[in-house]
Amino acid sequence: MIVRIAGFSQESVTDGPGLCSVLFFQGCHHACTGCHNPQSWGINKGEEIEIEDLIQRFQFTPLLSGFTFSGGEPFLQPEAAACIAEYVKSKELNLWIYTGYTWEELLSHLPEPGFQKLIRLADGIVEGPYRKELRDLSLPYRGSSNQRIILPEASLRQKQVVLWSES
Ligand code: SF4
């Protein structure tokens, strides 16, 4: 299976709890004003790569505690993202996904191929578009106050939004 990516960062301490690798997916249609990564918008840009080849770039060092999907919009390539997520979870890493969709929008896509699998493989979903007027640098792991960090498995089970908290 092929995936289109904008880039890969082996180590980050700002894109999820602990030390995590970050995979940036290519393609985003949310067009948030003030987006941190507008070069990731074009769906025909970036790098197209076989997932088998991509995962050769990942280094699962002992210090690594997590893996983050960012963008771009990872949910534009749900089946490819779910395939990579499955591999990352086999390494027992915490998986977070950044998306410009709200949680409610993600739920409306659940029947589509890959969506539910990807949501269920994630340990945390940072959801919602970046809104410049709600920018808040004091918030951990997100840029604006409309964005929530959701625990997907618990939220699906309890049929209500369950939020991640740092403590
Ligand atoms: S969802 Fe993320 S990548 Fe897409 S436009 Fe908004 S901030 Fe940029």
pLDDT tens per residue, range 12-69 = 999 999 999 999 999 999 999 999 999 999 999 999 999 999 999 999 999 999 999 9
Kindly give, in sequence order, each residue whose CB lies less than 8 Å from that of residue 30, ignoring residues fewer than 6 positions away.
73, 100, 101, 129
CA 104 to centroid of ligand 1, rounded, Å: 17
Cβ atoms of residues 152 and 120 within 8 Å? yes
Within 6 A (CB) of ligand 1 lie 28, 30-32, 35, 37, 40, 71-73, 100, 129-130
Among residues of the chain, what percentage have pLDDT more than 90? 95
Each residue of 107-116: pLDDT tens digit? 999 889 899 9
Each residue of 85-115: pLDDT tens digit? 999 999 999 999 999 999 999 999 988 989 9
- CA–chain centroid gap for 105, Å, is 15
pLDDT over 90 (residue 166): no
pTM: 0.96
